A and B are shown apart, each in its own frame.
Chain A
Amino acid sequence: MSRRLPRTEGPWAWLAAGSVALSLLLLGGLLLLLAVRGLGHFWPASVTLVELEDGRLLAGQAVRELPLERQAGRERLYFTGNRDLDGHVWHWLPVATIVASERPAELVVLERRRHGAFIGRLVAVGEADSLASAQSREAAWARLEAQLAELQELRDERERLRRDVLRPLIRRLDARPDDTAARQALAEANARVRELQQAMGGQAALLESVDGRRLVQPLDEVLRAWQPNAMSLGEKVGAWSQGVWRFLSEGPRDGNTAGGVWPAIFGTVMMVLLMSLLVTPFGVLAAVYLNEVAHQGRLTNLVRIAVRNLAGVPSIVYGVFGLGVFVYGIGGTLDDWFFSDALPSPTFGTGGLLWASLTLALLTLPVVIVATEEGLARIPVQQREGALALGATRLETLTRVVLPMAVPAMLTGVILAVARAAGEVAPLMLVGVAKLAPQIPVDGEFPFLHLDRKFMHLGYHIFDTAFHGNDVQAALPLVYATALLLVLVILVLNLTAIFLRHYFRSRHGVQPRP
């Protein structure tokens, strides 16, 4: 469409076109902000060595710059790490007080399990008790990298042991405490884990901050190390993509302020899929009843209005309903009947994946009903009469002609439902979302899908990371990244449904009218 807006359309056409342009611009700006702030976090930023007027030395990554309050000049925020040495990791420095800044290649950044990042110099690597011997910088770095790779292998093996051997054995013992074979195997596996643990200890690195303070860092607490100033662009891109991949594939650490969001991605997608599976049959049946079965009178219209109004009920109200009816009501009863051995610890009588999906299914039911009803109403009466005239009953007409033709409309309903449900957080907080649930609700153990488990959700993860962490500055990039991810997840889910709808629509093309 290369038709230009004709001048004669007057100001209204321009106003309308301008509104569209503005909306698109805002949307693009939003995504750009999320992408830059979120994805920039994983870039191995250069470390600057800063010398101040008073002779102090600082090494850190410049984060942002703001004008000083009530004074001329600007101040710059540096991320300096070294919480164990300084007690804090952020430094605001007035730009005017910086005498010199350079980027020495030998500065290292270590990501550690405790105390966060270390920024400074690497002096030596070796057995914890013989670190005094001086090493060249290159030798120390090479040794550090080798040791870290070895440690990673040990860690992976320990993880595998825990997941594949220890957890199943513990569950078997929970079920049958007198299983001596399992007890034996458990003892052996535990011994192996202790062995691995032993092998991991012992190595340490001697580190020195830029102002000369030294510390001995046990290597088993170091996750990764890099020399950002010495890295080429290619290496940085590699490190960046690894960082993004870890964010997508790992579980969270440090009270959700570090690590990845894999359980939250999985929980979100799982919940939305379950919700769609629950809401579609219910919504379609309700729409069929309203449009095809019910007598089209005042009562039906009243029901229709009520359904449309249900779409406007605030989501937290559905959360309260879910908590009262699903969790405490149905869940509590299920526990009494089938899981009374486990009481007082609840199985279904507490929030979980099933109840959250059900609550959201209820929340999105009106959308599916309305969309399906409109689709049913659009099917030409000739198609119904054609089927009836061949001797089809009303039910046969419905199932063989009308419903297949209404599939695109149903998918429109599902698309709208997914768009609404994937972004809801408020009701989930009442019916099953968890701050931290590192175990995803699907595993190799019967019944494979654990509907009673609590789950993580990207939306709630954003809320929790932004407001409940200790270090908001550190959490902020993760909030942006998670928000971007949430948008992308919803986009992918929607595109899937849109693709399906397109397939069903175009399967027979448009009927040519003579």
Chain B
Amino acid sequence: MRRKRSPMTLLSRFQPSASGSIIDFDPTASCFEIEGVSLAYGGKPALRDISLRVPRHRVTAFIGPSGCGKSTLLRLLNRLHDLNEEVSHSGRILLEGEDIHAPEVAVDELRRRVGMVFQVPNPFPMSIYENVAFGLRLQGGLTRRRMDDIVEWALQSAALWDEVKDRLRASAWSLSGGQQQRLVIARSLAVRPEVLLLDEPASALDPISTLKIEELIRSLKSQLTLILVTHNMQQAARVSDYTAFLQDGQLVEYAPTDTLFTNPSLRSTENYITGRMA
């Protein structure tokens, strides 16, 4: 069964927290708590014993070389691995204190609370309006007027409204790549998630579009928690508040972004961020 929640009550739960300046922030301010998570693809380990806490209403970046498991970890947070029968995992992941793998958790409800934006823009072959309304229609029970309002709000939040307000009925595939990615973000925002997972959201876009996406990410953290996977260290430095460095499926270092980039405590982190490691 799905819980019906009005977006307004949802918003009221986003209390901005007074987070600490270092990694040991107030545990009540953590959104995700990842405890001893390991994961294997058909017996081949991809994540080993990862534990970290993701602060609420902040941007947390996962960085690391290709194949380090950062995307794998991200997809675990909204249980997108569920459909892959070869994946096995252990450990606990808590979202606002609830185990997301608990049997009473409905996976579609979880995914509504934890939205996701992918590397390649994936708007559906529908109109711009229908793309944004897609998640709302799944919930149902909204009047036409209310739906229009939420669609407009979502497009404005994603900084796309001014560009598309005159052609909401046009196909989403008629937009440019950068616009498509912002449309996908608007689509995710429309269902009012608590967390937004971004899997290299700008890696397929041109520099201008990338800039817009980064601005958007910074502006969104007042509304929700963002987790960003990126292989672009400048991007992580520009937009994130906390950064986790992963290597070979292990969490190497996790610290406030300023600290991690200016004063990494481990040699391997320093090597990676200064580009001395492939």
A residues with CB within 8 A of B? 295, 380, 382-383, 385-394, 396, 400-401, 404-405, 507-514
Contacts and interface: CB of A to CB of B under 8 A. Distances in A.
A214 B51 CA distance: 113
Given A391-B135, A396-B138, 7 more contacts: A385-B118, A386-B122, A386-B124, A386-B184, A391-B108, A393-B108, A394-B83
B171 A390 contact: no
A401 B80 CA distance: 17
B109 A387 contact: no
A293 to B, nearest CB: 12
Contact of B138 (A295, A380, A391, A511): A391
Contacts of B134: 387, 390, 392, 400
Interface residues of B, number: 41
B108 A389 contact: no
A387 B124 contact: yes
A390 B188 contact: yes
Interface string B129-159: 0000011001100000000000000000000
Contacts of B118: 382, 385-386, 389
A140 to B, nearest CB: 71
A391 B80 CA distance: 11
A513 B120 contact: yes
B109 A391 contact: yes
B190 to A, nearest CB: 8
Given A382-B118, A514-B121, A389 B173 contact: no
5 contacts: A389-B115, A508-B172, A511-B125, A514-B180, A514-B209
Contact of A508 (B121, B138, B173, B176): B173
B55 interface: no
Contact of A510 (B135, B173, B176): B173
Given A382-B120, A383-B124, A390-B135, A512 B80 contact: no
B112 A513 contact: no
Given A389-B78, A389-B80, A390-B191, A511 B112 contact: no
A390 B173 contact: no
Contacts of A383: 122, 124
Please give me the 5 A-B residue pairs with the lowest Cβ-Cβ distance, nearest first.
Answer: A514-B177, A391-B112, A389-B116, A382-B122, A508-B125
Contacts of A392: 108, 134-135, 138
A383 B172 CA distance: 13
A507 B170 CA distance: 10
Contact of A514 (B112, B139, B174, B204): B204
Contacts of A401: 124
A380 B119 CA distance: 13
Contacts of A511: 123, 125, 173, 180
A81 to B, nearest CB: 64
Contacts of A389: 78, 80, 111, 115-116, 118, 188
A147 to B, nearest CB: 65
B187 interface: yes
A509 B180 CA distance: 14
B22 interface: no
Contacts of A394: 83
Contact of A509 (B139, B174, B184, B187): B174
- Report which residue of B108, B118, B126 has the largest number of chain A beta carbons within 10 angstroms of its beta carbon: B108
Interface string B81-113: 001010000000000000000000000110110
B206 interface: yes
